[in-house]
Structure 1
């Protein structure tokens, strides 16, 4: 199968790196062709801190996915997270030259481009500019301004910002692993695509993705992303606490958490004990499950409360901003026993576990429909969507080229319009972020 038929999502996490190859079937569902997974070395709290180890881990995951599917991986869509990610609200406007013409894509793009010129702190770069609502000549709450008349177009934006160095390090790892960087997406947005339904996004929902090193939050209301945050704690700090509290090695702590861990201490009786083999001929250790769940509970409460502070910052208690669909938990950390009940208890909001199976073809492997792979599936969906868009643009340009000979008889103005304007409008629609990705690719090429 040639590269054009399938796409690849690459999730560079703190605990694991997942490469996932897929294509869209005739029903619009995603067919997984291959998956590769490796232990993530060199990534700490979502940020690359050892280039060599990260490259090796990426190569391992990619090789596994390739041998699994018999396909060759070229370009990948990568997720970005980490404690350096922050978001802010911003309003901007443009005054149009000709209010007699309807607002078109160019005007909307011009407004978005303006936001990308915002002066950030040193070393920061804008990753995403996400329009909220538009205002035309003072008329508020417009969701789609195209096709309307007006002289002044303004909008509120949700702007996601990250550190240039962290993004460039990810780019460098991808390039050194022998891959092309397709584009970069904020991980909470990718997870949201994979596990949330359109109804939930309309009603108002908070997605909490608990990974190994970070916990990502994305809040949607009226179908629009309203708030994003990355909290620098995840499942690994729970493992660390178990390791310290029970004086055992990390591997044992991780196994204990997965097998016997619970976020609700009242669940276990005092006499439930688990025995852990001692190191090199030492006596085995005995740990009560009640103590284990107390350690886990304390840390999970801290993580959930930090996320809840972010939900409060968004203003979920206002009537207009109410999150009717409550909370959706996903990511590896969401598999912890009784976590759903604890989150409901702390926040008082309806909660469910999010599985990325809604968009997958029926015959997909059960393992892939686990919350563990939510981000990877979301990145793959993003890759497929980007590819479909660029194919549509190419097809349109080809069509225009074939129409050219017929138009040669027309006057010059019409001809110029056919040859230049249309492709240009279409190309402009390639998001600013894609252009920024191109700039990053050039930078990496020159840094050789």
Structure 2
């Protein structure tokens, strides 16, 4: 089988499992070609990098498995899109307002639009980096308008959500992908938003819906209304916390995990008088554990996770306006009795069982495994080919070894001019940054800290940093809305 279309590579960093996918797009829909997964072990904790060496080993195995499944064995993965859903990931709502000098109103001109653009570019974030900006829109005298240039008004504003995480999280991922594996990191995108792209239908996003993913180390809540992301929060609790709680009964982690999935009956006292029997590893003795103790621990932790989920929804004041209710995803959502308990708290609760119409499911390695929703969503957003040809036959050569191949210096030099046009747009702002940065720090702005779009300074530890692209040129997306570019 061969593909003439671009191939995209996605890696979703989970606290329990790291998943990867290679796919293409046909008629705007994701067509999976290869999938693979590896257990996270200690590499990722709470969704963030915990052990760099272990993460490198896990990713190397994952990339090798994906390379083996590529339709053309003379190609290999060279770039990746990475999904991040760890703690500190969140959305921040912003509004930039401009009042006209004439109280009777003025025409919105390029001058006014450029003023807004400059204010957007001068925003600061404290040790955080922007991964995405969600559907910015313009209000002109209180009305939503698509094309604002030329309109008469007394004031207008632009509204947007920045999705951010700590800069250290981004730096660690870059280090693992670029410095350790020798691959190019094309972008880091928020996993909850990528999952929503391929799990939620447009009608649900319009009426209002909360996509709740109960993962191993974290739980995410993404709230949509009027087809726009309104709120994103990551809660630092997940199903692994339940396993750790059960270990307080003096059992091992594998035993606790098995009991959590197979024996626990939370939210009910029907089994409290029963007990389970565990044998030691050598089978020499037995011990009994009361179901009452098991169920009380599981119930308490699941109630805590649920309370935090509903607090996010209610703090947003959208609980009564979510016409499509709550959609659950993640392995933690499959815990026995969890859905029934949530249905007592909220009227409309459902489980994400399949992809929407943006993903091909038949005759693909994916089938209906929604655990790969993060990877499928990354490929849905991808727009740069991630697979390239190799000159040396690939037998036992690992992807990371291509950094030091002596036979390919000419190929590397030949590729550089081709990449330059792609980076022209994204590097325009950083070229100006060294001249503006000292003055900008002295300005009074929303965040009195260095511009988030400043390029990372080159160090001995990160020799590639001078060539790195920004993770996301977020203000260009807002500029497109102001100038009505790329809008049908």
TM range (shorter): 0.7 to 0.9
- Structure-2 residue corresponding to 1:60: 61
Partner SS, residue 369 of structure 1: coil
**2:301 pairs with one of 278, 292, 299:** 299
Q: Deviations 1:60-97 (Å, cap 9, x if unpaired)?
A: 11212222345522211111222222332221145899
- Structure-2 residue corresponding to 1:264: 267
Give 1:142-157 correspondences, 5 Å limit.
142=144, 144-145=146-147, 149-150=151-152, 153-157=156-160
- Structure-2 residue corresponding to 1:204: 208
Q: Deviations 1:188-246 (Å, cap 9, x if unpaired)?
A: 1111112111000000001111111111111000111100101111111111112223x
Task: State the 1:259 CA deviation.
Answer: 2.6
Give 1:21-420 correspondences, 5 Å limit.
21-26=22-27, 28-40=28-40, 41-70=42-71, 72-93=76-97, 107=113, 111=116, 114-121=119-126, 123-136=127-140, 139-142=141-144, 144-145=146-147, 149-150=151-152, 153-175=156-178, 176-245=180-249, 247-266=250-269, 268=271, 270-271=273-274, 273-317=275-319, 322-346=321-345, 348-358=346-356, 359-364=358-363, 369-383=368-382, 386-387=383-384
- Is the Cα–Cα contact under 8 Å of residues 330 and 374 in structure 1 kept in the other structure? no
Structure 1 CA distance for aligned equivalents of residues 224 and 427 of structure 2: 24
Q: Deviations 1:337-375 (Å, cap 9, x if unpaired)?
A: 2211111223x2311111342233242568652342222
- Is the Cα–Cα contact under 8 Å of residues 47 and 82 in structure 1 kept in the other structure? yes
Q: Which has the higher contact order (CA 8 A, sep 6+)?
A: 2
Structure 2 CA distance for aligned equivalents of residues 260 and 367 of structure 1: 30
Q: Deviations 1:225-275 (Å, cap 9, x if unpaired)?
A: 100101111111111112223x2111122222223344433464633x443
When structure 1 is superposed on structure 2, of 260-269 and 369-378 the one drifting more is 260-269
Structure 2 CA distance for aligned equivalents of residues 8 and 438 of structure 1: 27
Structure 2 CA distance for aligned equivalents of residues 113 and 127 of structure 1: 20
- Structure-1 residue corresponding to 2:407: none
Change (3 A) 1:38 1:221: same
Structure 2 CA distance for aligned equivalents of residues 204 and 35 of structure 1: 32
- Structure-1 residue corresponding to 2:14: 13
- Structure-2 residue corresponding to 1:418: none
Q: Deviations 1:160-205 (Å, cap 9, x if unpaired)?
A: 2221111110111111223211111112111111211100000000
Task: State the 1:113 CA deviation.
Answer: 6.5
Q: CA RMSD in A?
A: 3.6
Task: State the 1:59 CA deviation.
Answer: 1.2
Change (3 A) 1:189 1:440: farther
Change (3 A) 1:147 1:260: farther
Task: State the 1:140 CA deviation.
Answer: 1.5
Q: TM-score, normalised by structure 1?
A: 0.78
Partner SS, residue 265 of structure 1: coil
Q: TM-score, normalised by structure 2?
A: 0.72
Structure 1, unaligned runs of 5 or more:
389-423
